């Protein structure tokens, strides 16, 4: 019976100051899976990114089993119940890293990892480069290693995002009920609308609509709309010489004072300061 063996195995204990700001890798390796390779946990620290070099395997999250084939990259949120392992008839060989760091939970939600942990078309060459760079850094003792490991993990996360975006899954995983209200807010951001009216478009109660929206986008519907208005105002402030009062009205703020207050809350600058800064940058 083919047994699982570790070709490479790395351990690290990141410093607390690095853990606060960087992606860190406390564990990583290159594993040749055997028929016996099976990991099952209810809860474990961090997230694991597993790249299937050859063979086949599986991952189970949220009660569903997902097949893994050569070239797939798997994201496992270890803080939720999960299991993964090799296909007994064609055991996988994998590179893997366990990562920790800020914002990983939010990235998971944005990419709907719980529903779709397997990322196909993950640009194998770039993916392998990221893993091998991390392995090399964990072998050495360079003082630059924490920052360079952070950069390599960030590239891996970018590979995952691009793989999902290429498949259209980031857009498709927005609940269908939200698509009409989101499209309305993008097109008619300058018009007044209430949460109740948006919820009616979605066919949901206002409370349920707000919960679904926040779970999907990480913010409330009204805050999302306000940020869209501010983004539109930024374009007009830099791309036109229109008076600030006129721009405020164009993006849905009949009160210039409230517009200026909201703009500063979101950007840290008044509309005039933002225009002067960005116009100056464009002329340099």
Q: Can you give the pLDDT at residue 283?
A: 41
- Provide the β-strand partners of residue 8: 30
pLDDT tens figures, 136-176: 999 987 889 999 999 999 999 999 988 887 665 544 457 88
Fold type of domain 5-171: Jelly Rolls (2.60.120)
> pLDDT grade, residue 284 (50/70/90)?
very low
65/81 Cα distance (integer angstroms): 12
CATH of 176-283, one of 1.25.40.10, 3.90.79.10, 1.10.10.60, 1.20.1250.20: 1.10.10.60
> pLDDT grade, residue 106 (50/70/90)?
confident
Measure Cα distances from 203 to 69, 174, 176, 207, 245 in Å.
Answer: 39, 15, 11, 12, 36
Contact 72, 109 (CB under 8 A): no
Contact 198, 185 (CB under 8 A): yes
Delimit the CATH 2.60.120.280 region(s) of the chain.
Answer: 5-171
Contact 179, 209 (CB under 8 A): no
pLDDT tens figures, 33-85: 999 899 999 988 999 999 999 999 999 998 899 999 999 999 999 999 999 99
Give the list of residues 6+ apart from residue 262 with CB closer than 8 angstroms, or none: 226, 230, 253
Measure Cα distances from 97 to 12, 71, 228, 263 in Å.
Answer: 11, 16, 37, 41
pLDDT tens figures, 262-281: 999 999 999 999 998 887 64
**Given phi > 0 = left and psi -120 to 50 = alpha, else beta, which region is 268?**
left
pLDDT tens figures, 249-261: 999 999 999 999 9
Mean residue pLDDT of the chain comes to 90
Q: Can you give the pLDDT at residue 1?
A: 52
Q: Is residue 110 scored above 60 in pLDDT? A: yes
Percent of the chain scoring above 70 in pLDDT: 95
Delimit the CATH 1.10.10.60 region(s) of the chain.
Answer: 176-283
């Amino acid at each position: 019976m083919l047994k699982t063996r570790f070709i490479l195995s790395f351990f690290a204990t990141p410093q607390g100051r690095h853990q606060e700001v960087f992606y860190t890798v406390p564990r990583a390796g290159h594993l040749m899976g055997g028929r016996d390779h099976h990991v099952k946990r209810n809860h474990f620290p961090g997230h694991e990114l597993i790249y299937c070099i050859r063979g086949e395997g599986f991952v189970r999250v949220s009660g569903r089993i997902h097949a893994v084939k050569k070239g797939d990259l798997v994201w496992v949120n270890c803080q939720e119940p999960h299991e993964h392992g090799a296909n007994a008839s064609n055991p996988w060989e994998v590179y893997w890293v366990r990562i920790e760091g800020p914002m990983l939970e939010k990235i998971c939600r944005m990419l709907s990892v719980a529903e779709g942990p397997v990322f196909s078309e993950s640009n194998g060459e770039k993916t392998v480069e990221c893993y091998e760079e991390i392995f090399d850094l964990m072998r050495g003792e360079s003082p630059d290693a924490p920052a360079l490991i952070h950069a390599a993990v960030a590239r891996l996360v970018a590979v995952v995002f691009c793989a999902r975006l290429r498949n259209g899954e980031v857009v498709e995983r927005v609940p269908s009920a939200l698509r009409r209200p989101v499209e309305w807010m993008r097109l008619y951001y300058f018009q007044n609308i209430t949460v109740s009216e948006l919820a009616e478009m979605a066919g949901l109660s206002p409370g349920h609509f707000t919960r679904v929206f926040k779970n999907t986008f990480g913010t409330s519907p009204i805050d999302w709309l306000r940020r869209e208005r501010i983004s539109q105002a930024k374009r007009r402030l830099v791309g036109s010489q229109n008076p600030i009062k006129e721009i405020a009205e164009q993006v849905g703020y009949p009160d210039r004072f409230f517009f200026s207050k909201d703009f500063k809350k979101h950007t840290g600058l008044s509309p005039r300061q933002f225009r002067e800064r960005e116009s100056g940058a464009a002329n340099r």
